[in-house]
Amino acid sequence: MKHHHHYLTLNPALYHRQDAMPLDNPRLMHFNHALHETLSDSPVDKVDWRRVIGADNAAFPNEFQPLAMVYAGHQFGQWAGQLGDGRGLLLTQVFDKQGKLQDLHLKGAGKTPFSRFGDGRAMIDSTVREYLGSHALSMLGVPSSNALGCVVSDTPIMRQQMVRAAALLRVSDCHVRLGHFEWLAVYHPELFGEFSYQMMAAYYPKIDRYDIDEFLRQVCKNTAKLIAKWQLVGFSHGVMNTDNLNITGTTLDFGPFGMMERFNPSWINNHSDHHGRYTYQNQPTIGHWNLQRWLACFELLSVKDSVMADCLDAYKTTLHDSYDEGICQKIGLPKDSTSLSLAYEFVGLLKTYELDYTNSFRALAALLDDGCAHEQALLATLNDELRHQEHGWERWQDWLARHQAHMRHTTSTQESVQKIRQTNPVYILRNAMAERAIQGALDDDFSEMARLFELLSRPFDVQSIAVKDDTTPTHRHDMTPVSCMS
């Protein structure tokens, strides 16, 4: 690995150097060999990753110099003041084989000065969910952190009861959050300008080093592209605080996230989100709100109000354009006004009758190509559900006729089927799947975790290792929120 711990070159006020707190008897639950190959020129290195992820400082290469970042943020719409890495350490930064800077961040590494009332550890439950969830999003083509591996240990931690601690080694192109800038603006404004220009140079090197306006615009546009992709695959982040969004537009901090199963845009997937602030349908608006808070910090650099307004307009335009392009592809049509109308109408059908989001889109391939038994079964289920809904069958048949008529005038059947299969996965990480992997891990059985990892590595392909429950829609009354306990 080619190490370049850029963050250590920044002002020491931005972090706290410290060792990790080793876990007792760490055992690998899973290791991401494919991700490792993108980071290292050697398929076999001398690093004992089990011990590294188990927070054993003695196993850290000399290039590892752990630190906990400090930042601030707005949480659930309220200013939360100083926050920071309460159970994570940035071990090092490396260049991957594409020459892109990547962070190795150990989650569950013990207490830091920013732990507040926490113990700095992580549960098996949340560790398994992040490991599989970040991998699933990455394989779906959504910019996301990923993880090199995760361990379970014999270290006891108290949650609602005594449980065993786990840890995960997260890999992300950026851990610099909107909240970093908020912290500087409030607590160290004299460092704000220097930090901003350093972040431009590190993460947006193609922008002129003094063009702060363009930096703001690009961050807003990348955030918009990310949230559009979330909406298209049905991902609900669950905790879109300003300290949980970074400046490169990469999914970060998998807390109580959820993939949309039965399509209910107002479904609350975070047990602690009592007012539904962070539901799927609110994500575009919350992204805009978070960026407003972030942009306001740049008054320190005399950025004009008109520039900030232009950046927010760029956010809205980029998000709408990206989503509209993607939603047309999901129904196999090129983007035009008729395709958009058909796409939004189909989404309306899913919402009205609470149909399975992923399966319903994938079933469209069977309308045009009868070669896939799995898609034919999805279509049969979709037809059966709509037959038993008031006006469902009539609306569905009317939509089908107009969709096929428009397709004949705009694209070929082969191109349409190809678009549908390339943009609509067969497999997503449903809550029941994650729960099966978690239950296995609690019993030191990691076979289901390994199977799901392999399944989610090729989410657009029908696979023989799949079981029926991997694509079975959750009953609408069983879509329960996930606890934020970690």
With vertex at residue 123, the alpha carbon angle to CA 93 and CA 435, rounded to the nearest 5 degrees, is 110
Least confident of 150-164, 208-222, 291-305, 462-476: 462-476
> According to DSSP H, which parts of 188-282 are helical?
192-203, 212-233
**More confident of the two residues 45 and 89:** 89
Q: How confident is the model at residue 485 (pLDDT cuts 50, 70, 90)?
A: low
Model pLDDT for residues 113-160, shown as the tens digit of each residue: 999 889 999 999 999 999 999 999 999 999 999 999 999 999 999 998
- Cα–Cα distances in angstroms (integers) from residue 40 to residues 85, 98, 404, in the given order: 26, 11, 48
Question: Residue 273: is its pLDDT beyond 70?
Answer: yes
Question: Residue 293: is its pLDDT beyond 70?
Answer: yes
CA neighbor of 15 nearest in space, from 114, 120, 102, 116: 114
Question: Residue 372: is its pLDDT beyond 70?
Answer: yes
With vertex at residue 244, the alpha carbon angle to CA 243 and CA 248, rounded to the nearest 5 degrees, is 100
In angstroms, the CA 390 to CA 404 distance is 23
Q: Do residues 240 and 252 lie in contact, with contact meaning Cβ atoms separated by under 8 Å?
A: no
**Catalytic residue chosen out of the listed positions 125, 243, 356, 470:** 243
Say what the pLDDT of residue 270 is. Answer: 87
Say what the pLDDT of residue 122 is. Answer: 96
In angstroms, the CA 85 to CA 67 distance is 9
State which H helix or E strand residue 137 sits in. helix 124-139
Model pLDDT for residues 218-237, shown as the tens digit of each residue: 999 999 999 999 999 999 99
Six token digits for residue 110: 């013990």
Model pLDDT for residues 452-470, shown as the tens digit of each residue: 999 999 999 999 999 999 9
Model pLDDT for residues 16-38, shown as the tens digit of each residue: 999 999 999 999 999 999 999 99
Residues above pLDDT 90, as percent of the chain: 90
**Regarding beta strands 146-158 and 122-123, do their DSSP bridges make them parallel or antiparallel, or are they unpaired?**
unpaired
Radius of gyration of the chain (CA): 23
Instruction: Dihedral sign for Cα 70, 80, 267, 420, please.
Output: negative
- Mean residue pLDDT of the chain comes to 95
- HSE of 264 in the Cβ direction (CA atoms, 13 Å)? 18
Residues 6+ apart with CB under 8 A from 179: 71, 72, 73, 74, 83, 241, 242, 243
CA neighbor of 50 nearest in space, from 123, 148, 145: 148
Q: What is the mean pLDDT of residues 247-265?
A: 94
In angstroms, the CA 401 to CA 379 distance is 15
In angstroms, the CA 268 to CA 163 distance is 27
Q: Do residues 68 and 88 lie in contact, with contact meaning Cβ atoms separated by under 8 Å?
A: yes
Model pLDDT for residues 318-370, shown as the tens digit of each residue: 999 999 999 999 999 999 999 999 999 999 999 999 999 999 999 999 998 87
Say what the pLDDT of residue 44 is. Answer: 60
Say what the pLDDT of residue 478 is. Answer: 74
CA neighbor of 257 nearest in space, from 8, 434, 382: 434
Question: Is position 243 annotated as part of the catalytic site?
Answer: yes
The pTM (predicted TM-score) of the whole model is: 0.96
Say what the pLDDT of residue 42 is. Answer: 65
Q: Do residues 82 and 187 lie in contact, with contact meaning Cβ atoms separated by under 8 Å?
A: yes
Question: Residue 254: is its pLDDT beyond 80?
Answer: yes
Q: How confident is the model at residue 484 (pLDDT cuts 50, 70, 90)?
A: low
Q: What is the mean pLDDT of residues 233-248?
A: 97
Query: How many other C-beta atoms can be found within 10 angstroms of the C-beta atom of residue 245?
Result: 27
Say what the pLDDT of residue 314 is. Answer: 98
Q: What is the mean pLDDT of residues 417-425?
A: 96
Query: How many other C-beta atoms can be found within 10 angstroms of the C-beta atom of residue 380?
Result: 12
